[in-house]
Structure 1
Amino acid sequence: PESDGGLGQGIVDVGIVTEAMGRHRVRSNYVAGVVLAGGLIAALGNDAQRAAMLPGLADGSLRLALAHAEAGARYNLAHVATRATKSGAGWVLDGSKIAVLGGDVADRLIVSARISGATRDEAGIALFIVARDAKGVTVDGHATVDGAGAARVTLSGVEVGADALLSENAFAAIERACDRATAAFCSELVGLMEAATAATIEYTKIRIQFGKPLAVNQTLRHRMADMSIACEEARSMALRAALYADNEDARARSRAIAGAWAKVSRAARFVAEQSIQLHGGMGVTDELEIGGYLKRVIALDAIIGGPDLHLRRHAALINLVA
């Protein structure tokens, strides 16, 4: 929001940024830190919490990360085994989180913890703001397959004050924030796909084999035509996801974004794999961006879930499956 030092733009505008990031394979925690974690602060934070974090997030002096995913969750956002126990005026947190995007460099963590209910209940999930250097917090950073950073976070008797509580009923906000982040990642993959396609077309024009450029081979031209078609289809779905990202109808929003990710992630993998095939062995070398594009697709599929998962989710949301 502009009142908190930002530009006040929506996911359509964010998509313009992430598309450019995908095109140039920028390794950044922009979506994880700003769209996901920052979006939760903007949506749920009180005046003091917003004033303490959002201006710093906007000018780059503060880095945030959402610590929500847990072992065994299998992409179920309601799966929260980490517990928050009331202690005087504050809380004590115990549990562990995995695949915390940007957690390796974050200054503060937005941690989900259960204050009531069973492990997979949607009700009873709270969010807390926890300093990285708080006593009892262990952050084990690691690289992801695409060269970005993530972390495993362990919380052992972490004491936080009442002012650290962001929300006592946060599931709907978490689901919305994850949908918005997925829409932003859709746009990133569109930029990635278009860059991979352009690089492949250019390479086949200059690579001479048996006395002629690869691009004169009709079969290879058909492949590149299919890649271009996949890019256009993915762009349409990414735009649909962005337009639905702030829809107040949660079911319609999730349905549109699940369908978009199923299409875009599958198309991105197709384009990245075709790019490698048309480049030959050099397509998997670190000297070219081509292999890095595929690694990014693989990483995002691991983080968000692959196309089959989201296709089933989309089907469930339109009542095709139980």
Structure 2
Amino acid sequence: MDFDLTEEQRLLQDSVARLLTDRYGFEQRKAFMQSPEGWSKEIWAQYAELGLLGLPFAEDEGGFGGSNVETMLVAEQLGKAIALEPWIPTVVTGGGFLRHGATAELRAELVPQIAGGELRLAFAHTERQSRYDLNDVATTAKRDGSAWVINGRKGMVIHGDSAGKLIVTARTAGGQRDHKGIGVFLVDATGPGVTRRGYRTVDGQRAAEVEFSGAQAEAVLGSPEDGLPLVDQVVDETIVALAAEAVGCMQVAHDMTIDYMKTRKQFDRPIGSFQALQHRAADMLVQLEQARSMSYFAAMGVEERDPVERRKNMASVKVQIGRSARFVGQQSIQLHGGIAMTMEYAAGHYFKRLTVNDAMFGDADYWLRYLASSGGLVAAA
């Protein structure tokens, strides 16, 4: 199989890498984190200039027409910078709901705003009791004439405090954990009946607790009675971006550790000369390359048309990425020693992002249990 990038893909990768190298140093990132939004509006505008905000949308809708491969390439570079901007929630997750669930008229209205950097989206799905189960939805949506009125609470809405519109899962029928009776709704984040409380997450991103009290939806994305398949598809596509972001984080964590081992001396020798530490660094590299392979697999495996097989593909990606991320992050902290635990040094920040990344939409243990209960990635003969 040919894994070579096209000329356009290499140009995209190089353009993003150059922007982040020039404008997203560790000290600059700390300044962005202290801004009112918690990220850089100036960098967001440059994402728009590069076409990154319209990446997955069709060209005739004002987008770039990119595939999951382009998503993977951009997300990996953002991971290397542990970027703070809401690119994945807006472009990958929010964009996925619009591409697969919105009408042509709604896409014509919103896609140019997203691509131009004017509109940001956030996916409000997690509830206190739901943990990683996308079908566990207690928030309700009731018809009021031709409109839908939403009541309930959502937690850990990534970048929900700065989003202009929220994509909300709400129950229209059935019991709290039924797979049927779930709708996906577009809600004005600043509209009546919506209350947000923003906060900073452990890895420096922003999130929000959101309460809906009689909030009226602007649109329904997909079927209001059977929206879970749409949610599953978009989450699987988001896993592609999360996997690539984690690979970018692991690459930098590994490189930082190797450089440190070459310069840090003990007993008048660089610690990288000690064989035991060389073995640990080699194991880090093995885990990194396994994760990179699974990131490539994610970009291809998400194209599987059978939703059951596609979900197995992405479950295997989450398992390996999560395990690799934990190993690489822990070894980076251990091999750096106490300095890695300080806020002033980057190593710990990469490990924090890897930890949050693993927990997004289910950690490695959750997806391993899923694979075990579903017969494994490859069915036994």
In 2, Cα distance between the equivalents of 1:319 and 1:287?
Answer: 43
2:312 — aligned with what? 255
Q: Secondary structure at the match of 1:219?
A: helix
Cα-to-partner distance string for 1:250-301 (whole Å, 9 max, x where unaligned): 1111101111111111111111111111111001112221001111122123
CA-CA distance at 1:81 after TM superposition: 0.9
Does 1:76 pair with 2:147? no
Q: Secondary structure at the match of 2:212?
A: strand
CA-CA distance at 1:319 after TM superposition: 5.7
Cα-to-partner distance string for 1:224-269 (whole Å, 9 max, x where unaligned): 0000111111111111111111321111111011111111111111
Contact 1:101/1:150, CA 8 A, preserved across alignment? yes
How many pairs align? 319
Q: Secondary structure at the match of 1:51?
A: helix
Contact 2:142/2:172, CA 8 A, preserved across alignment? yes
Contact 1:113/1:126, CA 8 A, preserved across alignment? yes
In 2, Cα distance between the equivalents of 1:41 and 1:166?
Answer: 7
Contact 2:318/2:358, CA 8 A, preserved across alignment? no
Q: 2:94 aligns with which of 8, 31, 37?
A: 37
Contact 1:255/1:318, CA 8 A, preserved across alignment? no
1:210 — aligned with what? 267
Amino acid at match of 1:85: K
In 2, Cα distance between the equivalents of 1:124 and 1:304?
Answer: 21
Structure scoring higher RCO (CA < 8 A, sep ≥ 6) equals: 1
2:59 — aligned with what? 2
In 2, Cα distance between the equivalents of 1:3 and 1:81?
Answer: 38
Does 1:166 pair with 2:202? no
Contact 2:321/2:358, CA 8 A, preserved across alignment? no
Contact 1:107/1:131, CA 8 A, preserved across alignment? yes
In 1, Cα distance between the equivalents of 2:259 and 2:243?
Answer: 25
In 2, Cα distance between the equivalents of 1:315 and 1:9?
Answer: 34
Provide structure 1 residue ranges, at least 5 long, that are not aligned to the other structure.
Answer: none
2:294 — aligned with what? 237
Q: Secondary structure at the match of 1:223?
A: helix
Does 1:12 pair with 2:12? no
Does 1:302 pair with 2:362? no
Amino acid at match of 1:269: R
Give the TM-score taking structure 1 as reference length.
0.96
CA-CA distance at 1:151 after TM superposition: 0.8
Question: 1:173-212 counterparts in 2 under 5 A?
Answer: 173-212=230-269
Contact 2:240/2:299, CA 8 A, preserved across alignment? yes
Percent identity among equivalent residues?
39
What is the RMSD computed on CA atoms of the aligned residues? Answer: 1.5
2:84 — aligned with what? 27
Q: Secondary structure at the match of 1:92?
A: strand
Q: Secondary structure at the match of 1:304?
A: coil
Deviates most, 62-71 or 25-34: 25-34
Question: 1:263-278 counterparts in 2 under 5 A?
Answer: 263-278=320-335
Does 1:219 pair with 2:242? no
Q: Secondary structure at the match of 1:55?
A: helix
Provide structure 2 residue ranges, at least 5 long, that are not aligned to the other structure.
Answer: 1-57
Contact 1:251/1:317, CA 8 A, preserved across alignment? no
1:117 — aligned with what? 174
Amino acid at match of 1:143: R
CA-CA distance at 1:318 after TM superposition: 2.8
In 1, Cα distance between the equivalents of 2:371 and 2:69?
Answer: 21
In 1, Cα distance between the equivalents of 2:117 and 2:373?
Answer: 39
